């Protein structure tokens, strides 16, 4: 859950930096323009799908918590 949230949050800043980098490389005639645009697209997709990524990770985390909670109740009942 934390990884997904951090990845989505970081991708927002990464898009901005990659876009600035692509403009800079284009003005300077650098060869890394393609790489900067590719990074912008990758980070943009992650930022765009952030809501779905976080929701899925949260649901998996909640399911794990419930499973562990139910398992602990069974163990406590067995020892009593």
pTM of this prediction? 0.68
Region of 30 (left: φ > 0; alpha: ψ -120 to 50; beta: rest) is beta
Tell me the per-residue pLDDT of 39-78, one tens digit each, with 9 for 90 and over: 999 999 999 998 898 899 888 888 988 888 888 766 666 6
Give residue for tokens 């909640």: 62
Identify which has the larger pLDDT, 48 or 80: 48
φ, ψ of residue 31 in degrees (nearest 5): -85, -10
Tell me the per-residue pLDDT of 2-29, one tens digit each, with 9 for 90 and over: 788 888 889 989 999 999 998 988 888 8
Tell me the domain boundaries of the chain: 2-79
């Amino acid at each position: 859950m934390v990884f997904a949230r951090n990845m989505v949050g970081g991708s927002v800043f990464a898009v901005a930096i990659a876009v600035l980098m692509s403009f800079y490389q284009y003005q300077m005639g650098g060869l890394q323009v393609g790489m900067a645009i590719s990074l912008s697209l990758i980070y943009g997709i992650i930022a765009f799908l952030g809501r779905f990524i976080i929701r899925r990770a949260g649901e998996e985390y909640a399911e794990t918590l419930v499973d562990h909670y139910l398992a602990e109740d069974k163990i406590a009942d067995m020892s009593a």
